[in-house]
Amino acid sequence: MAYALAIASAALYGAADFLGGLASRRASTIAVVVWSQASGLAVLIVLLPFLGATSPSRSDFIWGAIAGLAGSVGVGLLYRALAIGTMAVVAPTTAVCAVIIPVLAGVLAGERLGDFTVAGMLLAIVAIVLVSQERGHAQVARKGIGIAFLSGVAIGFFFLALARTSAAAGTWPLVASRAISLVLFGALGLFSAHRLRLPPPVAKTAIAGGVVDMAANALYLAATRYGALSVVVTLASLYPASTVLLARVVLRERLSALQVAGVVCALAAIVLIVAFE
């Protein structure tokens, strides 16, 4: 169950990143992040009464706030990188960086993984790298890579911090995380020259991205309650496959043979991790 949730979160993370990047190509990144974060928080608050009884501790809120700080930096940089770079390159680059920190933390914490699981995780990383390959557009592909790298590091700490919350906390850590993110970007928007108003079509895209991203966060949080962190993070970090496929269908970004191989490797990695864990 944990790994099915992680895979579902990957699909939604990829879709949310695509929507956020698409909106950021048409308006200020800060404004897009504010709208997306606000919409996700609003949906979560509305659903809280229906999610059952919870008993979050002070520690859960602290870890949620830390996740919010890291996630704010990560998503802001990611949307910017997706806006100025090639989505099929930026998303996998971010994922490679994002997966390393939580996986190392899990292994150092004593998680024991089977041979097939380790093989699946390594294949997943290979898949992420392959999906990032794009021939004939070297300069375009490099655009935004530095920002994507920093984004991945921040997202890695977001994954790690969110996983430190307790099962009894329910989704309250996500409330703390999203509230911190909204306050930070709202203040940044107010004290800078960026306007927070978005044209209606862009606003709809940003709102949709925020709702999908919150759903992905909820699935990831649930997955960390029941599965090994290193495996859950690896599966969740397969989200570039979703971003790349959406970019291919919607934006007509062409997939190279290596990118197709990357998608195949991602599917094989999922089979190895889920079937033999």
Instruction: Quick: pLDDT tens for 66-109.
Output: 998 998 888 888 878 877 777 766 777 777 777 777 777 777 87
Tokens, residue 2:
């944990």
**Whether residue 135 has pLDDT greater than 80:** no
- Answer yes or no: are the C-beta atoms of 90 and 81 closer than 8 Å: yes
Q: Residue 116: which pLDDT band, with cuts at 50, 70 and 90? A: confident
Tokens, residue 83:
């806006």
User: Is 194 exposed, middle or buried, given 0-12, 13-18 or 19+ CB atoms closer than 10 A?
Assistant: middle
What count of other Cβ atoms lies within 10 Å of the Cβ of residue 163? 21
**Whether residue 62 has pLDDT greater than 90:** yes
Which SS3 state, helix, strand or coil, does residue 96 take?
Answer: helix
Q: Residue 61: which pLDDT band, with cuts at 50, 70 and 90? A: very high
Q: How much is the average pLDDT of 129-148?
A: 62
**Whether residue 201 has pLDDT greater than 70:** yes
- Answer yes or no: are the C-beta atoms of 93 and 155 closer than 8 Å: no
Which one-letter amino acid corresponds to residue 105? A
pTM: predicted TM-score of the whole model, two decimal places: 0.77
User: In whole angstroms, what is the distance from residue 182 CA to residue 230 CA?
Assistant: 28
User: In whole angstroms, what is the distance from residue 233 CA to residue 98 CA?
Assistant: 9
User: In whole angstroms, what is the distance from residue 69 CA to residue 256 CA?
Assistant: 36
Across all residues in the chain, what is the average pLDDT?
Answer: 81
